[in-house]
Amino acid sequence: MRIPSMMLAAALAVLSAAPASAAMRISEDRGGQIGQYLQSFAMLRSSGERVIIDGNCLSACTLVLGIIPRSRMCATERARLGFHAAWMPDEDGRPVTSVMGTRALWNAYPAGIRNWIASHGGLSRRMIYLQGRDLYAFVPSCDRPLQHIQANSRHRYAPRHVRYEAAASANDRR
């Protein structure tokens, strides 16, 4: 399902008007088109809001790591980031790895995340997961230094639907 551009623009306008003390909660986000995430996270960065990763943040959602400053985000114990190579559908709708999209993902990630991905096999069709203590090496725990973020949370980041569900769900396996 595609999000109409008017809805996306309205959501971005709300984000840009939100006070800096608010927090955006990311939960059960399966990813989507890289460009939409780059734009949404850039607006979120400009808004000054904090980000709470509280559940799955998969695929293009992981771009949050390269766009939002580390000092403005935290991860709960349920947070799990999933990385894989970018893909595009071929003429029959089957997923084909996108070299250009994968390069864009790679270049957006901080060096530490790129090193972690490389040490776990790199970006491929197989999803690799970063969670728990490994994740806290890159994103502070919400339970420790940034406890005040959860108390001020007023937004919930809505999950995005993947346009080609069958291919995306195949990537969702552990």
pTM recorded for the entire structure: 0.71
Q: What tens digit of pLDDT does each residue of 141-158 get?
A: 998 754 344 444 444 444
Residue 6 lies inside a defined structural domain of this protein = no
Query: What is the pLDDT at residue 21?
Result: 55
Q: What is the SS3 assignment for 173?
A: coil
The CA distance from 52 to 141, in Å, is 9
Residue 11 maps to a domain: no
Q: Which domain holds residue 128?
A: 23-168
- Taking only the tens place, the pLDDT of each residue in 66-115 is 999 999 999 999 999 999 999 999 999 999 999 999 999 999 999 999 99
Q: Where are the alpha helices (DSSP H) in the chain?
A: 5-17, 34-47, 64-67, 99-108, 111-119, 132-136, 148-151, 165-170
Length of the chain: 174
Within a domain: 164? yes
Instruction: Tell me the CATH number at 143.
Output: 3.90.226
pLDDT of residue 53: 97
Q: Are 160 and 32 in contact (CB under 8 A)?
A: yes
Q: Note whether residue 2 is domain-resident.
A: no
The pLDDT assigned to 32 comes to: 93
Give the number of domains in the chain: 1
Query: Does residue 159 lie within any of the structural domains?
Result: yes
Q: How confident is the model at residue 22 (pLDDT cuts 50, 70, 90)?
A: confident
pLDDT for position 143: 87
CA distance 52 to 111: 21
Quick one: which of 26, 58, 64 has its CA closest to 128? 58
